[in-house]
Amino acid sequence: MNVLVLGGGGREHAICWKLAQSPSLDRLYCTPGNPGTALHATNVEVDPADHESLTSFAARANVDLVVVGPEDLLAGGVADALAAASVRCLGPVAAASRIESSKSWANELMAEAGVPSAAFEVADDPDSAFEILDRSNFPIVVKADGLAAGKGVTVAGSPEEAREAVQTMMIDRAFGDAGDRVVIEECLVGQEVSAFALTGGKSLKMLPFARDFKRVNDNDEGPNTGSMGCYSPVAMVDPALADEIERTIMRPTLDALARRGTPYVGFLYAGLMITDDGPRVVEFNCRLGDPEAQVVLPLLDCDLAEVSLLAAEGRLEEARLQTADGAACCVVTASGGYPGNYTTGYPIEGIDEAEDIALVFHAGTAERNGSLQTAGGRVLSVVGQGADLDRARQRAYDAIDKITFANSHHRTDIAANDPERIFA
Ligand code: AMP
Ligand code: GLY
């Protein structure tokens, strides 16, 4: 079969890497792709947000399946456009991708489905938001309703901080339309875990759990980023907890979407807080995580092209998908200054040596005059694999030591302090 992957980050490089190993794959395309996806796929110049160009390319290249990486394309209706052109797509239609693109909509869906989450209220103007804050306890969480590239959440310790978040979102409009509505939410306390399911609308298969490190510096200090690393599996999620998450969170959410007439096809990502009262949803995303995909996909034992097509056809129950033993740890190398201002265009050395030890997925790189250069905030995802997390982590860091570019920055404590592993 011929597959087209949409996106151009580390997640999409990992998806292309895994698809390229699929016995059922004939041709693999990626747009826009990056120098890493080009190792496994033909990068093509088709604007994935331009639905007419996309569907005409899919027809020309006999594409059997499109796999969508990023949420903005899904929110923009790429799955709807492909369905209208009779092209199979792994990724939800816009109406179902609202689970990520509107936090109030997702909270209302969870309330309807009885899925454990945070108590919440919605405000459509600053005065209502301030009025809610006046009668709230702190800490509290203020969220821009729409897509804000991972920056739309403030965990406010005081009324002043919460009011400032409302000011930034609703009055200064730092996230544009995404902040015209805010959700004010109970602050959940516990351990964060990312859960992933692959679903074809009715049936679902749980994927390995992961833990993500969003702050830029060691010890979870500094501003939030798209994430500086992650690991999988997560020791605290034992089979009983995994079953509870599937039964009380993933299953009822998918059933509620199907009941509403918008069955969900694709990867569903639940950001969870494991509280003293059990798992609760912090947020849903309508895609694989980045960089969680870089650790989850290497741990899957399956023909990803075949499994993805079966999911897109609503026949996932026929698919063979198993989780491999062992662990994977991803460390992101970033451009110094990220997530603030940074400069790019620096030559990258040492990837070949690193690849003797670990997987190296490209995120912000570019090929210029025959040499590989930095071209983004997050530059590479370096993924060590091993029989256990310690060995996986060691390989990731041994490999990252081989890679050099000017102003590079990475965290040194990814997977170093897994609380369950140390105190269990
Ligand atoms: P983002 O991925 O940018 O949406 O950031 C969400 C982060 O904010 C999560 O990873 C949590 O750490 C935090 N967060 C969001 N909602 C809550 C909540 N209700 N209680 C506690 N922390 C939250
Ligand atoms: N790693 C967080 C995300 O993909 O949203």
Q: Which amino acid type is present at position 36?
A: G
Report whether pLDDT(79) > 60.
yes
Q: Beta strand pairing status for 42-43 and 27-32? A: parallel
> Mean pLDDT score of the chain, rounded to an integer?
96
pLDDT tens digits for range 21-54: 999 999 999 999 999 999 999 999 999 999 999 9
Cα dihedral 247, 252, 258, 262 sign: negative
Report whether pLDDT(213) > 70.
yes
User: pLDDT band at residue 150, thresholds of 50, 70 and 90?
Assistant: confident
CA 228–ligand 2 middle distance (angstroms): 10
Q: Please, which residues bridge with residue 143 across strands?
A: 153, 183
pLDDT at 419: 61
Q: Of all protein residues, whose CA lies closest to atom 16 belonging to ligand 1?
A: 282
Report whether pLDDT(423) > 90.
no
Q: Encoding tokens for residue 355? A: 């690849």
Report whether pLDDT(166) > 80.
yes
Q: Of all protein residues, whose CA lies closest to atom 11 belonging to ligand 1?
A: 282
Q: Of all protein residues, whose CA lies closest to atom 17 belonging to ligand 1?
A: 282
Ligand nearest to the CA of 152: 1
pLDDT tens digits for range 319-333: 999 999 999 999 999
C-alpha 345/C-alpha 364 separation (Å) is 10
> Following CA atoms 117, 123, 129, 131 in sequence, which dihedral angle do they give, to the nearest 10 degrees?
-100
- Report helix, strand or coil for 267: strand
- Residues with Cβ within 6 A of ligand 1? 118, 141, 150, 153, 155, 185-188, 192, 214, 224, 271, 273, 282-283
Q: Which residues 6+ apart lie within 8 Å of 369 measured at CB?
A: none
C-alpha distance from residue 416 to each of 51, 265, 413 (Å): 44, 35, 5
C-alpha 118/C-alpha 194 separation (Å) is 16
Mutating to test ligand 2, I would choose from 269, 284, 294 the residue with most ligand atoms within 8 A of its C-beta, which is 269
Assign 3-class secondary structure to 190-238. CEEEEEEEEEECCCEEECCCEEECCEEEHHHEEEECCCCEEEECCCCCC
Q: Encoding tokens for residue 230? A: 């992650």
pLDDT at 417: 81
Which atom number of ligand 2 is nearest to the Cα of residue 288? 4
CA 291–ligand 2 middle distance (angstroms): 7
pLDDT at 422: 45
Q: Encoding tokens for residue 231? A: 């690991």
Residue in the block written with tokens 């062992």? 326
Report whether pLDDT(396) > 90.
yes
pLDDT at 348: 98
pLDDT tens digits for range 344-368: 999 999 999 999 999 999 999 999 9
pLDDT at 149: 81
More confident residue, 226 or 331: 331
Nearest-CA neighbor of 157 among 169, 179, 142, 146? 142
> Following CA atoms 263, 265, 271, 273 in sequence, which dihedral angle do they give, to the nearest 10 degrees?
50
Ligand nearest to the CA of 339: 1
DSSP 319: -
